[in-house]
Structure 1
């Protein structure tokens, strides 16, 4: 636990954020259409300095076609603390033949028995950021 001079929140350096992302398999894709926010859980994998996931046609892809500005968030925790990493950027269908062939080799299996033939890449055009949190009791108020 931190002493009184340590902050329970610290910044994860940008280059370390990718390692945190690579340590998990499930994230949340946030997007907005017609001023209504939506969040979709997706299983994903890190591909260079982006993340990829699979999808089927439907509401998520309809929303991305209208406004591909997204936020992608992943977190993790133990008894001692937690972390959160967020990518702000764009989501785009992977259509390039070479990129698509590489994406098809990624360890991305559908959670449910449906065909998910669309591969989507989320790239941090705005940025990637992360925070670590040290858990502990609430400080006494003076």
Structure 2
């Protein structure tokens, strides 16, 4: 179901933001879009509170993979062997700051450590740490739920007369 967002006057420059609507996208399109960017945010629990960290990622099949800085906050997400993993969410988007058009995708699932040495080596080639920290581990998020939407412009003929 599409949700309409009406046009309005924007911030200090007082430019007009076009009328737009939220258009849901399916799982395949959401994962495809996620694969077109390298930056997102991982949402997890730290000390029983929600926490968010920006990280770079790669989409490998249907999994989202991020590297972990040794000793960083995300290292707490490494589960014990044989456990199903830790529930996390991962979000990425591309939304134009002027027009407010673009897309957003959220993946929710279990995060488990990548243990295969060949996979770790491959991800090390694909994902480079932002800072000079040692990042010898990686985390694979296996999605249970993938949701997303596009913010698309409402065609001029669809706008109501006398609208904002």
Calculate the TM-score normalised by the size of structure 2: 0.71
Quick one: distance in 1 between partners of 2:75 and 2:30?
A: 26
Q: CA RMSD in A?
A: 2.7
Higher relative contact order (CA 8 A, sep 6+): 1
Partners of 1:22 and 1:46 within 8 A in 2: yes
Q: Residues 110 and 33 from structure 1, CA distance in 2 versus in 1: closer, same or farther, beyond 3 angstroms?
A: closer
Could you list the structure 1 runs, at least 4 aligned residues long, displaced by more than 6 angstroms after superposition.
none
Partners of 1:82 and 1:135 within 8 A in 2: no
- The correspondence of residues 36-115 of structure 1 with structure 2, limited to 5 A, is 36-56=49-69, 57-65=71-79, 68-78=86-96, 79=99, 81-106=101-126, 108-115=127-134
**Scaled by the length of structure 1, what TM-score is found?**
0.80
Select 2:33's aligned residue among 7, 10, 20.
20
For the residue of structure 2 that corresponds to 1:8, the secondary structure is strand
* CA distance in 1 between partners of 2:150 and 2:75 (Å): 32
| Count of matched residue positions in the alignment of Structure 1 and Structure 2 | 134
* Bigger CA radius of gyration: 2
Alpha-carbon distance in 2 for matches of 1:54, 1:63: 12
Structure 1 residues 68-126: Cα deviation after superposition (integer angstroms, max 9, x where no partner): 100000010233612110101011110023433433342x11111111111111110x2
- Aligned position for 1:120: 139
Gaps of 5+ in 1: none
